[in-house]
Amino acid sequence: MKTAIISDIHANLEALQTALTFIKSQKVNRIICLGDIVGYGPRPNECADIVREVCKTCLLGNHDEAAVGGASIEHFNDYAREAMLWTREQLRDDTTAYLKDLPLLIDDSPGVAFVHSTPVAPQEWNYILNSFEAQMQLDNAENQLKLVFLGHSHIPIVFSYNHGPIMGRKMQLDLDNDRYIVNVGSVGQPRDGDPRASFVIWDETENTIEYHRLDYDIFGTYQEIMKAGLPRFLADRLLMGQ
């Protein structure tokens, strides 16, 4: 059983299409999206259409929630707020209806969960940025979670309960003795200094997770951002992966 897990697409159609073309070649059994389909980027409806079609499940992200008016954008930075006001104008009614229906968290097989932000109080949109926070989440989450896939920070990293942060392209999981929080990174707006699209393929049979990083047509997205009249900063940051 192989699952591709994508997150934080942020209306970046070029990045999403590149990721999905690769994922198709990997013969996965299902694709799960961890949310933030929209926000920042220039192609919100198109990205939502594709996610709807190809993903078995999609979770709600804070930008998706804000786009459908479910959350205040006062705490968004200036660029995010400007892009969100633009996004709200662009969304078709059926896209809005789709985003409104997305769940905050889903339990998968026993001990496994998918969520955009955190397994504890996902609607608060907190971040998990270090091992201490990861341990706290695993200690306080319901259902004795052993493996949580999430996004939100746009930083690809695995936190092992026993060993702290682990970096690497492919990792063997030891679910009998350890517990993990896996941040899959961002397809459409990576912020770890690497501008390539990031996502994960989880192989349940082998008990492995593998990160994939793919170059995509960043300049195509760059031009669309400028054409849409969105802030140039949002285009520039894609080039830097920040």
Residues that bind Zn ion (CB under 5 A): 8, 36
Alpha-carbon gap, residue 199 to 197, rounded angstroms: 7
For 195, the token pair is 């501008």
DSSP three-state, residue 6: strand
Considering the complex, state which of residue 62 and residue 135 has its C-beta at the smaller distance from Zn ion: 62
Considering the complex, state which of residue 8 and residue 14 has its C-beta at the smaller distance from Zn ion: 8
The neighbouring-strand residues paired with 159 are 165, 181
- Least separation, in Å, of the C-beta of 8 and Zn ion? 4
Considering the complex, state which of residue 36 and residue 65 has its C-beta at the smaller distance from Zn ion: 36
Considering the complex, state which of residue 8 and residue 192 has its C-beta at the smaller distance from Zn ion: 8
- Least separation, in Å, of the C-beta of 29 and Zn ion? 26
DSSP three-state, residue 25: helix
Instruction: Tell me the backbone φ, ψ of residue 7, rounded to 5 degrees.
Output: -155, 165
- Least separation, in Å, of the C-beta of 60 and Zn ion? 12
- Least separation, in Å, of the C-beta of 10 and Zn ion? 6
DSSP three-state, residue 177: coil
DSSP three-state, residue 200: strand
Alpha-carbon gap, residue 100 to 60, rounded angstroms: 8
**Chain residue at closest Cβ approach to Zn ion:** 36
